[in-house]
Structure 1
Amino acid sequence: MAHWFHRNPIKATARQNFDLGAVASTGPANKICSDLREARSKLLDIVSNPNIAVSSLKSAVENYFSLLQGFQQACDEKGGESKLRYSVNFKWTNSLKGYEPSAQQDVVFEMCHMLVNIGLWYTKHAAMLAGSKEEVSMDEAKEVHSCLRTASGIFTFVKESLVGKLLNTPEKGEDLDSRILVAYIEQCTAEAQEVTVARAVELKHSSNLISALAYETAKVFRNADSSLAPLEVSLVGKWRKYLQLKYLFYMAYAHCFNGVTLLEKEKCGDSIKALQESEKFYEKASSMCRDYASTKGPGSTAKPAEHLFFRKLGPLVKRNLDKSTRENGFIYFHKVPAEVPELEEKAMYGLVSPEEFPTPSISSSWTAETYNAFDLSRAPSEKQKDKKKEEDIKPIKEADIAQTGKDPKNSSGCIVS
């Protein structure tokens, strides 16, 4: 299953010690800085490994962000923005730009980039679950679905609640560029809907429902691709091939099951036309598989045409087209129309929405006394600051996604896509 996912690299960041020197004027204030350093380091270690349990990630996120809240919101009687928001400089790479870093002296900048990394972790964890063994259980399928909805919700939170607070507008192609965030949101939403489509196939739901779900899923993949269209091909070309492939695949799926529905309604001519259209989309998807596999750029490498789920769609289309053609020749004698039968515009069930990201509450370590112990008047001037050479950002070594590498044995060929 992991072969069916395009996954962009985890972002790297410069080491952050939260060393405020004389600004942290008491033991409790220094303790918060030390705890922040340790919590950040632990969270980054977890994010680099998609095989770790969700519960471990959630605990690390809660620990770090609850401590970080004191750098965003004031903890005294005045309230409002924390005086510490601009006290620390953060540096991050972007998932599509290699190790070309972005930097801002702003804790909101840190929150944005760390959350993008956490969202990416959830997508990779979903891929790990889907490809971990030959048969994925109901509970594991639900967790895949939940992870993708959670990721979509995190990217949505960054886009709608945080990016607008930054002093500097994100540059084109950076992870905080609204077009990149929209693409991540839409991709995660569409992939979560793939779980629903596959489940509907497994449970042999009505062909009309499967067609409608597949059509809605195709449109969400297309929206993700459209969001990336204005960006440089060198950055998003491979990613866009994946999204276009998924759009073509699910359009083939939608027309195939629409053809089955029409035959059930004894509209044999319309059924043939729908299945012919499915065949065309499948052929385009087959070509896009080859393009994707040969395209260089950021992101995972896969050969989707070799996966069982993709290989099974072609024979399914052919089998149903042959059946409709045969039935028409023996029973119905309907004329095949020139126009392709319309697909149902909106599925009644199974559509996915992002899971809302709950902002962690501020840590109990932050009290008015501790907050007031941070004295910015004791911060060194620009002339007094140590002019040490800035540390290079080291590449993140991501753990391999654990998987069997074997074809799933269930009837749809997969759970997620």
Structure 2
Amino acid sequence: MTHWFHRNPLKATAPVSFNFYGVATNNAAAKICNDLRSTRMKLLELFLDVNCNMEMMKNAVDAYFSLLQGFITSLDGTTQENKLRFIQNFKWTDTLQGNVASAQQDAIFDLVSMEFNVALWHTKYASRLAGKEDITVDEAKEVHRSLKTAAGIFKHIKENEVGKLVTAPEKGKDLESRVLDTYIVQCQAEAQEVTIARAIELKHNPGLIAALAYETANFYQKADNSLTTLDPSYTAKWKKYLQLKNCFYLAYAYCYHGQTLLASDKCGEAIRSLQEAEKYYSKAETLCKEYGQTKGPGSTAKPSEHLFFRKLGTYVKNTLEKCQRENGFIYFQKVPPEAPQLELKASYGLVEPQIFELPALGAAWNQELYAAFDITKGPKDDKAKVKEEEVKPMKEPDLKPQKDTGCSVS
């Protein structure tokens, strides 16, 4: 299912040398600057490494963030602002609005932008892992965990970091609340997709599957609503994806709710529920085509080509025909003109974002090291500073879809 999920591009950033000649007044200060540069580069490299796993990513994140906090946390025993926070300029592009970079001379800007990329990496890792042939239960659990982790990081950025920035996020930029809300809810919805696939595979109670599908459809609707007031020139494609997934899971909800109604001898209502499932499935098919034709940032998912998508269409058709046969032979019930109201609440399988916590301040940092930085002596090499601010787009690996196994979890 590598191409089952829509994925926006990674943020790109300018290299940062942390060359504070003169400011770093001893070897210990110079060394931590070198360590900051190398751990930042290592983390950026891992974003593009197809062999990177969650443990490798966490180690790289902890290594850089623990050092970067020495530029953010108060280290002189007072409540005053860290004197190093505004010493370095950072440039980052945006996932939606192209390769035009935004710059802030603020260590927190680099922290939240890097956190954002870490969350995006988790979504891409989950997509890549879900695309493997014959995915195991343990791998499905890791997909689920990775998406919950991503949701937790996006939520942490929104609730704990963005408010600390001196310069508020611009409208429609990655750190703006509506964009962050969309990412959070999309990650929750996609994690629930894993749960639904597992529940179907194990033939769980149709009522549970219907409720989970309905909750997931609502998540996609909520995510779509978050983007409504933003410029469609950079959100239209993303919105089409959210809309097609909303319709797809409404089709699932009505399909399995129909089975529950049939089991309760409400055959007429079951037929009407299956007819509604058929309607939403057809709408999802149309939206798949529109999504594929809509221009915008991000990799293009191809849900309609997946067996998981096609199987639902066949299942809805067969279940509806079964209900109609049963009604013709046994029940003779009228089919209501209105579709049943779905007021389904899932008791199990609902996804909450995984709480994200920053690592502890790096052990090398202390008051003595902090005092060894003299900010009255600015960086001398201005030419080098201009050169390092160039931003090159991230060259993400082009992953080809593997054989489609229908999202089954073996």
Q: TM-score, normalised by structure 2?
A: 0.96
* Structure 1 residues 16 and 333, CA gap change in structure 2 (3 angstroms): same
Q: Is the 8 A contact 2:36 2:64 kept in 1?
A: yes
Aligned to 1:394: 392
Matched, 1:317 2:290: no
Offset at residue 400 of structure 1 (A) = 3.0
Offset at residue 82 of structure 1 (A) = 1.5
Aligned to 1:48: 48
Q: For residue 393 of structure 1, what is the amino acid of its counterpart? A: V
* Structure 1 residues 117 and 380, CA gap change in structure 2 (3 angstroms): closer
Q: Is the 8 A contact 1:130 1:415 kept in 2?
A: no
Matched, 1:151 2:144: no
Q: For residue 305 of structure 1, what is the amino acid of its counterpart? A: S
Q: Secondary structure at the match of 1:378?
A: coil
Alpha-carbon displacement from aligned partner over 1:18-72 (angstroms, at most 9, x marks no partner): 1122111111011110000000000000012344111111110000000001101
Q: For residue 18 of structure 1, what is the amino acid of its counterpart? A: F
Q: Secondary structure at the match of 1:21?
A: coil
Q: 1:374-385 maps to which residues of 2 (within 5 A)?
A: 374-379=373-378
Aligned to 1:338: 337
- Once residues 40 and 387 of structure 1 are traced to their aligned partners in structure 2, the CA distance between those partners, rounded to angstroms, is 18
Aligned to 2:4: 4
Aligned to 2:87: 87
Q: Secondary structure at the match of 1:22?
A: coil
Matched, 1:126 2:123: no
- Once residues 154 and 344 of structure 2 are traced to their aligned partners in structure 1, the CA distance between those partners, rounded to angstroms, is 26
- Once residues 286 and 382 of structure 2 are traced to their aligned partners in structure 1, the CA distance between those partners, rounded to angstroms, is 58
Alpha-carbon displacement from aligned partner over 1:175-219 (angstroms, at most 9, x marks no partner): 111111111001000000001111111111100000000000000
Q: For residue 371 of structure 1, what is the amino acid of its counterpart? A: Y
- Once residues 26 and 386 of structure 2 are traced to their aligned partners in structure 1, the CA distance between those partners, rounded to angstroms, is 29
Aligned to 1:407: 404
Q: Is the 8 A contact 2:3 2:401 kept in 1?
A: no
Aligned to 2:16: 16
Matched, 1:108 2:108: yes
Offset at residue 117 of structure 1 (A) = 0.5
Q: TM-score, normalised by structure 1?
A: 0.95
Offset at residue 385 of structure 1 (A) = 5.1
Which stretch of structure 1 is more off in the superposition, 38-47 or 301-310?
Answer: 301-310
Offset at residue 415 of structure 1 (A) = 5.0
CA RMSD of aligned residues (A): 1.6
Q: Is the 8 A contact 1:50 1:124 kept in 2?
A: no
* Structure 1 residues 359 and 119, CA gap change in structure 2 (3 angstroms): same
State the identity as a percent: 55
* Structure 1 residues 291 and 51, CA gap change in structure 2 (3 angstroms): farther
Aligned to 2:176: 177
Q: For residue 284 of structure 2, what is the amino acid of its counterpart? A: A
Q: 1:350-361 maps to which residues of 2 (within 5 A)?
A: 350-361=349-360
Q: Secondary structure at the match of 2:6?
A: coil
Alpha-carbon displacement from aligned partner over 1:129-154 (angstroms, at most 9, x marks no partner): 01122x11000000000000000000
- Once residues 94 and 49 of structure 1 are traced to their aligned partners in structure 2, the CA distance between those partners, rounded to angstroms, is 21
Q: Is the 8 A contact 1:4 1:304 kept in 2?
A: yes
Q: For residue 112 of structure 2, what is the amino acid of its counterpart? A: C
- Once residues 317 and 20 of structure 2 are traced to their aligned partners in structure 1, the CA distance between those partners, rounded to angstroms, is 67
- Once residues 18 and 25 of structure 2 are traced to their aligned partners in structure 1, the CA distance between those partners, rounded to angstroms, is 14
Q: Secondary structure at the match of 2:261?
A: helix
Aligned pairs, number: 408
Q: For residue 398 of structure 2, what is the amino acid of its counterpart? A: D
Q: For residue 48 of structure 2, what is the amino acid of its counterpart? A: S
- Once residues 34 and 174 of structure 1 are traced to their aligned partners in structure 2, the CA distance between those partners, rounded to angstroms, is 31
* Structure 1 residues 317 and 90, CA gap change in structure 2 (3 angstroms): same
Q: Is the 8 A contact 1:50 1:121 kept in 2?
A: no
Q: For residue 151 of structure 1, what is the amino acid of its counterpart? A: A
Q: Is the 8 A contact 1:153 1:354 kept in 2?
A: yes
* Structure 1 residues 404 and 287, CA gap change in structure 2 (3 angstroms): closer
**Structure 1 unaligned residues grouped into runs of 5+:** none
- Once residues 49 and 268 of structure 1 are traced to their aligned partners in structure 2, the CA distance between those partners, rounded to angstroms, is 53
Alpha-carbon displacement from aligned partner over 1:229-265 (angstroms, at most 9, x marks no partner): 1111121111111100000000000000000000001
Q: For residue 398 of structure 1, what is the amino acid of its counterpart? A: E
Q: Is the 8 A contact 1:73 1:80 kept in 2?
A: no
Q: Secondary structure at the match of 1:2?
A: coil
Q: 1:15-414 maps to which residues of 2 (within 5 A)?
A: 15-79=15-79, 81-133=81-133, 135-379=134-378, 389-390=386-387, 391-401=389-399, 405-408=402-405, 413-414=406-407
Offset at residue 81 of structure 1 (A) = 3.3
- Once residues 262 and 245 of structure 2 are traced to their aligned partners in structure 1, the CA distance between those partners, rounded to angstroms, is 26
- Runs of 4 or more consecutive aligned structure 1 residues displaced over 6 Å after TM superposition: none
Q: Secondary structure at the match of 1:10?
A: coil
Q: For residue 57 of structure 1, what is the amino acid of its counterpart? A: M
Q: Is the 8 A contact 1:73 1:79 kept in 2?
A: no
- Once residues 80 and 14 of structure 1 are traced to their aligned partners in structure 2, the CA distance between those partners, rounded to angstroms, is 29
Which stretch of structure 1 is more off in the superposition, 293-302 or 105-114?
Answer: 293-302
Q: Is the 8 A contact 2:200 2:209 kept in 1?
A: yes
